[in-house]
Amino acid sequence: MTEMVYGAVPVRDGEPILPKWWRTIDKWAMSCILMLFAVGLLLGLAASPPLAAKNGFEPFHYVQRQAAFGGLALVAMLMTSMMSPVLVRRLAVLGFIVSFIALALLPFFGTDFGKGAVRWYGLGFASLQPSEFLKPGFVVVAAWMMAAASDLNGPPGKTWSFALCIAIVLMLVMQPDFGQGCLVLFSWGVMYFVAGAPMALLVGMALLVVFGGTIAYSNSEHFARRIDGFLNPDVDPRTQLGYATNAIQEGGFFGVGVGEGQVKWSLPDAHTDFIIAVAAEEYGLVLVLVIIALYTTVVVRSLLRLVRERDPFIRLAGTGLACTLGVQAMINMGVAVRLLPAKGMTLPFVSYGGSSVIASGIAVGMLLAFTRTRPQGEISDLLSRGRVR
């Protein structure tokens, strides 16, 4: 009966998992992610040797670590993309619970590594940032709650997800980590909009964010310093934004040449938050546009596939993951060109960072799992049948 109503395509019974995965996966999106990781290693070769020399390591110490973290991320991405949506949801719920507890315990057991924000756990051989792993888990959990709310006699999932979102944002603001807090709030707002939220409520949320930002500016020296630096028309050339701005200007269209850039010797975060400045200086606007095109391709192709999805949970979760990836990349690059205040946010798959790249691999693996081709009819098929009748 389901096939008669929805026009499901035939299922190949007994098909091995790898051929089935390869046949149904979005190969363009996966290829773009692999290219972003390759670009990250290329830029790491340029940006990280000065920092390695400063800290007494081998020249390519950070590149080797990035390759190791990236290998784990790619394995996680491929394994997650082979899972069914139900299994992805179960693992996401488990991961979310663990990450939420870890985030709540940060004030007691976390460290700031001298950066003024308690965001990490020091593990000796590496550091762990719970908020990076919390984001994809939260998106899936919130999408599950919202989808359940649309069922007959379903729970108030939208209210529950909003309460959970606010609790997470408050914990992130306490670190302080306003960038990740805004990203979590944005991901919830996007899913709520797709789920059919009234426009008045979204406008109210925007006003609430402005009100919260005003309070944070008045009570947080960390937040106020970054906003003042952003609004100041004169950029101090000795600050990270000053170095990044100058590097982007020097790069021009084709860059100053491989290995010839100078910003990596001045920026302490050249291999992480300001990696795009290294790309712009040494390779010019051309490579920056390639990076933007790769992210755009992943997000747009994912959304186009999700438009045809009939399952509300998959549609909401996939939309949240795709938009979070795109907006995080936009924020990172926007900070480097002074379109946004400094956030301390990495460029997914490109910036150095174990937590960032592994969590991004898991998130994109979930996205690829949700956007795989499934034996279901499209909404357009059902509409065309109705016109024929």
Q: Which long-range contacts (CB under 8 A, 24 or more apart) does 30-36 make?
A: 30/81, 30/368, 32/294, 32/295, 32/297, 32/298, 33/77, 33/298, 33/349, 33/364, 34/74, 35/294, 36/291, 36/294, 36/295, 36/348, 36/349, 36/350
pLDDT digits (tens, 9 = 90+) for 33-62: 999 999 999 998 888 888 888 888 888 888
Q: Does 72 have pLDDT greater than 90?
A: yes
- How far apart CA 370 and CA 192 sit, in angstroms, is 18
pLDDT digits (tens, 9 = 90+) for 276-308: 888 899 999 999 999 999 999 999 999 999 998
Whole-structure pTM value: 0.88
pLDDT at 222: 67
Among 184-188, 235-239, 268-272, which is the least confidently predicted range? 235-239
- Each domain of the chain, given as residue ranges in start order, spans 16-375
CB 316, CB 191: distance < 8 Å = yes
pLDDT at 1: 38
pLDDT at 7: 41
Give Cα separations from 341 to 240, 241, 302, 332 (angstroms). Answer: 12, 10, 28, 10
